[in-house]
C-alpha cells in the first residue's frame, strides 16, 4: 500500500469515528500516524524538489523575503511587475509562470525580496504539479501573501490553507506553549502550569507519544493544547509564518461585496492591474514583517538616514545590530551610544543586550586594540 493510500485509509477511519471522550485517545493516535505519513510526503527519503535549473533555489537578498502564493491567473505576476519592475510573464491563461521569479522593492528603507511562485493547485502537498517546490520555498519566507481572485476568494482560500497546513506551515499562529523534552528513563511526566486541559487527557497524550516511540519524556503545558498542537511540537518541523490575504481584481465586484469580504481578518483588497490600494498593501506588508529600522551614526558625523540597518523586532538587540553591519564588529564592541525611544536620555550608553526601537540612532564604540 502506498503512502497516499495509507493516508486516505486513516482519513476515512477518522471520518467514521465519533468524537467523544471515549474515542479521544484513538483519534489522537490516528492523527499522529497521519502526521508521520505526511512527513514522508513532504520530505521523502530519496530527496524531493525540482530539477536543477528550475529556479526554485533562489538566493536570498535584501532584508526580508515575501512569497506570493495563489491559484493560476489570480494576478501574482502582475503584482510582482507593478511592485518591483521585474517582468514576470503575464497572460490570460493558467500556468503562465512555471518557475520562481524574484524581484525586489524598497519600502521605508527596507529592501524586500518578492517571489512570484507558480500557481498552486489542489493536491500540491501530495506532490501534484510543482506544489512541493512551491511550498518548500514558501517555508523560507518571512511573510506569505495569498493572492485571491475577488470572484471566488473563500473557495481558493480554504484549499490553499489546507495545502499549506499539510506542508507544516501554520498561518498567523503562535507556536503552542508546550515544552517537550525526551528522557532516557523515568516514563512520561506531564505537567500543566496554570491551565485546565479540556482537549486531551493523560491517556491521549501517552498514546500520541507512544506512536512516536517516546516512552520517557517531560511534557509541560502552558496552554489548553489540542492533539494537533502536541503533534506539531513532537514533529518539531512546523513553520509559523504571518500571512496576508490579498484580494485582487476588486474592480470586478460591487462595493457591497467588497464591504462584506473586507471584514475578514488579515485581508487587503487591491487591483494589481490598476494599482489600486497599493499604499495600504505596502504598509500591511511592513507591519506583518515586524521589522525595525536602526540608523548608524559614525563618530563626529550626522546619522545616515538614507541606509538604515533593518532587523526583526524579535531580535532587536544592539548585538544583532552589530552582526548585521559586520560579523567582527560584535567582537570589537566596547559600548554603544543610543538616541531614540528605547533609552531614557539622549544619548545613553548601553551594552550588547540593550533592545532597540524603530528609528533609533546608534553609534558603536570599539575597544582599543
Q: Where residue 88 falls among pLDDT bands split at 50, 70, 90? A: low
CATH number at residue 300: 3.10.20.30
Beta strands in the chain (DSSP E): 64-70, 101-107, 110-116, 143-149, 169-171, 178-182, 188-192, 217-221, 239-241, 243-248, 267-269, 291-296, 304-312, 333-339, 348-350, 360-366
Q: Which pTM was predicted?
A: 0.84
The answer to whether residue 56 is domain-embedded is no
CA distance 210 to 215: 6
CATH number (domain holding residue 250) = 3.40.50.300
Give the C-alpha separation, 115 to 340, whole Å.
34
Residue 282 lies in a domain: yes
Contact indicator for 107, 123 with CB cutoff of 8 Å: no
| Residues 283 and 303 reside in one and the same domain | no
Tell whether 99 and 198 lie within a shared domain. no
Closest alpha carbon to 238 in 162, 159, 139: 139
Query: Given phi > 0 = left and psi -120 to 50 = alpha, else beta, which region is 46?
Result: alpha
Could you list the residue range(s) of the whole structural domain that residue 9 is in? 3-44+176-235
User: What pLDDT digit, counting tens, does each position of 2-49 carry?
Assistant: 888 898 899 899 999 988 888 888 999 999 998 898 887 666 555 444
Separation CA 346–CA 336 (nearest Å): 12
Same domain? For 248 and 340 the reply is no
Beta bridge partners, 182, equal 217
Longest alpha-carbon distance in the chain: 74
**86-95, 104-113, 320-329, 330-339: least confidently modelled range:** 86-95
The verdict on 243 and 303 lying in the same domain is: no
Whether residue 184 is found in the same domain as residue 153: no
Residue 117: per-residue pLDDT = 79
pLDDT for res 52: 35
* Residue 137 pLDDT class (50, 70, 90 cuts): confident
What tens digit of pLDDT does each residue of 228-276 get?
999 999 999 899 999 999 999 999 999 998 888 888 899 999 999 999 9
Distance between CA 181 and CA 189 in Å, rounded? 10
Amino acid at each position: 500500500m502506498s503512502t497516499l493510500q495509507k493516508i486516505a485509509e486513516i482519513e476515512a477511519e477518522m471520518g467514521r469515528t465519533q468524537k467523544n471522550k471515549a474515542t479521544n485517545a484513538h483519534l489522537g493516535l490516528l492523527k499522529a500516524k497521519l502526521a508521520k505519513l505526511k512527513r514522508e510526503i513532504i520530505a521523502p527519503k530519496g530527496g524531493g524538489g525540482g530539477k536543477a535549473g528550475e529556479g526554485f533555489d533562489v538566493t536570498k537578498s535584501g532584508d526580508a523575503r515575501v512569497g506570493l502564493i495563489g491559484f493560476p491567473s489570480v494576478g501574482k505576476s502582475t503584482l510582482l511587475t507593478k511592485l518591483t519592475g521585474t517582468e514576470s510573464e503575464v497572460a490570460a491563461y493558467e500556468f503562465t509562470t512555471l518557475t520562481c521569479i524574484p524581484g525586489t522593492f524598497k519600502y521605508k528603507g527596507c529592501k524586500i525580496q518578492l517571489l512570484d511562485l507558480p500557481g498552486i493547485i489542489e493536491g500540491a502537498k501530495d506532490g501534484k504539479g510543482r506544489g512541493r517546490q512551491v511550498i518548500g520555498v514558501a517555508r523560507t519566507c518571512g511573510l506569505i501573501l495569498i493572492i485571491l481572485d475577488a470572484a471566488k476568494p473563500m473557495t481558493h482560500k480554504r484549499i490553499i490553507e489546507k495545502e499549506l497546513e499539510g506542508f507544516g506551515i501554520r498561518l498567523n499562529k503562535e507556536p503552542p506553549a508546550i515544552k517537550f523534552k525526551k528522557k532516557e528513563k523515568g516514563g512520561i511526566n506531564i505537567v500543566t502550569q496554570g491551565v485546565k486541559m479540556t482537549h486531551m487527557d493523560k491517556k491521549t497524550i501517552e498514546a500520541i507519544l507512544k506512536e512516536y516511540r517516546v516512552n520517557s519524556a517531560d511534557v509541560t503545558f502552558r496552554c489548553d493544547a489540542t492533539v494537533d498542537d502536541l503533534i506539531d511540537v513532537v514533529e518539531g518541523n512546523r513553520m509559523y509564518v504571518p500571512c496576508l490575504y490579498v484580494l485582487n481584481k476588486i474592480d470586478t465586484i460591487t462595493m457591497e461585496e467588497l464591504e462584506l469580504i473586507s471584514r475578514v481578518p488579515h485581508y487587503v483588497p487591491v487591483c494589481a492591474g490598476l494599482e489600486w490600494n497599493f499604499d495600504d498593501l505596502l504598509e500591511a506588508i511592513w507591519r506583518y514583517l515586524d521589522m525595525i529600522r536602526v540608523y548608524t551614526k559614525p563618530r563626529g558625523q550626522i546619522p545616515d538616514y538614507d541606509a538604515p540597518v533593518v532587523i526583526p523586532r524579535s531580535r532587536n538587540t544592539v548585538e544583532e545590530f552589530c552582526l548585521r553591519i559586520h560579523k567582527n564588529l560584535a567582537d570589537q564592541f566596547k559600548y554603544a551610544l543610543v538616541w531614540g525611544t528605547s533609552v531614557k536620555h539622549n544619548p545613553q550608553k548601553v551594552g550588547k543586550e540593550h533592545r532597540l526601537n524603530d528609528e533609533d540612532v546608534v553609534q558603536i564604540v570599539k575597544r582599543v586594540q
